[in-house]
Structure 1
């Protein structure tokens, strides 16, 4: 009985975490550059129960000895799906998108983060220039990790190679040997938790000005997954209820 409760409880926990992942995907369906996540699960450790009552009765046995029983499943992690989102024209020259692989470098001081969201605004400085900043307050960086900075009154114009006409700075685009080592920092920006040698530079991706990348969330798929996951959650809830009823019956029989 207890095993049934453990298995059903682990199922509830994993389905709840999957629902959280799906809900986050749906909530960010309109977030520029957002990459959806998929939850993966694995079985909990199993135990072996010896079922040999007498060795002389096991002569000629073809199946393995013992019975293996598991204790449900647990969340193995969530994987970021890096498929590119659909380009969305904005006619705003401060909006840029990466057509291909890679991430923009953004930062404050020595803190460098990464994002696919290319929606920026002007941020005036005290020396007659302006920088490009995203909604989280991080400045767009060039390939040398320096803020993109232009004189007031100059237009922001960038070619496909990421070279800015007014300053000749080149926008920094990097990729990673294993992008799954990117740790979300909120607001669709990431911190890389791997080694510096795993950061790839000189990425052959093109910059499109006046566009932003839509999220790669497929709402119809997410809603379908949510319905399926809710059904699994309900099934495990009923399993707990049935196991509880069976334990009550067993206890009643013992006491009678």
Structure 2
């Protein structure tokens, strides 16, 4: 019976939906995390009677036809890049992007990666790095003698040193933007890499070319809304249960057919 296979595809689809929702909920407190949504598509149809086919010698045609669907499949899991709330941290090396753009990160393999997580620190050489120790690009080095570090909204990094009342510029942060942010490939550890779908990065100064500005002493919180996720979880659970009920009903119908006597 086709209903068994159709309902099975529905259960598999809702299982994936729950997995996506659970990942969103698990990352509610992950800095810079962007929630995801699963989208689904219907499968091929079995055409028993083609719409528009001639139904008589007088030229009358079938108005609607008969098509039976075969279920559902995953179409995509897309990322929603809405702005997360800015959270004050008090750490002078923490930076939040208010608007569009990604920080550039140099990975140990020599490749560039991109992140919205601005919870930065300095390593033993005074270089600005991520929580995993990956260098921020362009490289920023903070002198050991610096008593204060200031990052402007446009990404200019200045330090104040003993005996000098005038701040010194030690670097300029830049942001990367993409034509299709949803096409970026998530690598874990809050990092993304470009793909053919995302397009190449466009590098620019914060506040220019449509890029967001930087806010020092803040990080961007996850954009996950717990109320929305719990509601979506309930809907997915009910859909799973309904597909399970279809399988039970189809099984009962098959049982009745098997017990029928000629």
Same structural fold, with TM-score higher than 0.5 when normalized by the shorter chain: yes
Quote the Cα distance in structure 1 between the aligned partners of 2:12 and 2:23: 17
Provide closer, same or farther for how the CA distance between residues 226 and 190 of structure 1 changes in structure 2, counting only shifts above 3 A. same
Provide closer, same or farther for how the CA distance between residues 151 and 242 of structure 1 changes in structure 2, counting only shifts above 3 A. same
CA apart distance, 1:148: 2.0
CA apart distance, 1:199: 1.6
Aligned pair count reads 244
Quote the Cα distance in structure 2 between the aligned partners of 1:215 and 1:80: 12
CA apart distance, 1:198: 3.1
Secondary structure of the corresponding residue to residue 127 of structure 2: strand
Counterpart in 2 of 1:121? 121
**In 1, are the aligned partners of 2:55 and 2:62 still within 8 Å (CA)?**
no
Quote the Cα distance in structure 1 between the aligned partners of 2:74 and 2:198: 29
Secondary structure of the corresponding residue to residue 237 of structure 2: helix
Alignment of 1:106-255 (within 5 A): 106-109=105-108, 110-124=110-124, 129-142=125-138, 147-154=139-146, 155-166=148-159, 167-194=169-196, 198-202=200-204, 203=209, 204-253=211-260
Deviations 1:65-106 (A, max 9, x none): x41111111111111111101111111101101111000111
**In 2, are the aligned partners of 1:34 and 1:215 still within 8 Å (CA)?**
yes
**Structure 2, gaps ≥5 residues long:** 160-168
**Structure 1, gaps ≥5 residues long:** none
Secondary structure of the corresponding residue to residue 9 of structure 1: helix
CA apart distance, 1:58: 8.1
Q: Normalising to structure 1: TM-score of the pair? A: 0.88
Deviations 1:96-151 (A, max 9, x none): 01111000111125211111000012211xxxx31222223322112xxxx32222
Provide closer, same or farther for how the CA distance between residues 251 and 136 of structure 1 changes in structure 2, counting only shifts above 3 A. farther
**In 1, are the aligned partners of 2:153 and 2:213 still within 8 Å (CA)?**
yes
Quote the Cα distance in structure 1 between the aligned partners of 2:199 and 2:72: 35
CA apart distance, 1:59: 5.2
Secondary structure of the corresponding residue to residue 194 of structure 1: coil
CA apart distance, 1:238: 1.3
**In 2, are the aligned partners of 1:178 and 1:198 still within 8 Å (CA)?**
no
Quote the Cα distance in structure 2 between the aligned partners of 1:156 and 1:228: 49
Deviations 1:168-209 (A, max 9, x none): 321120110111111110122111112896322224321100
158-167 vs 22-31, greater mean Cα deviation: 158-167
**In 1, are the aligned partners of 2:181 and 2:198 still within 8 Å (CA)?**
no
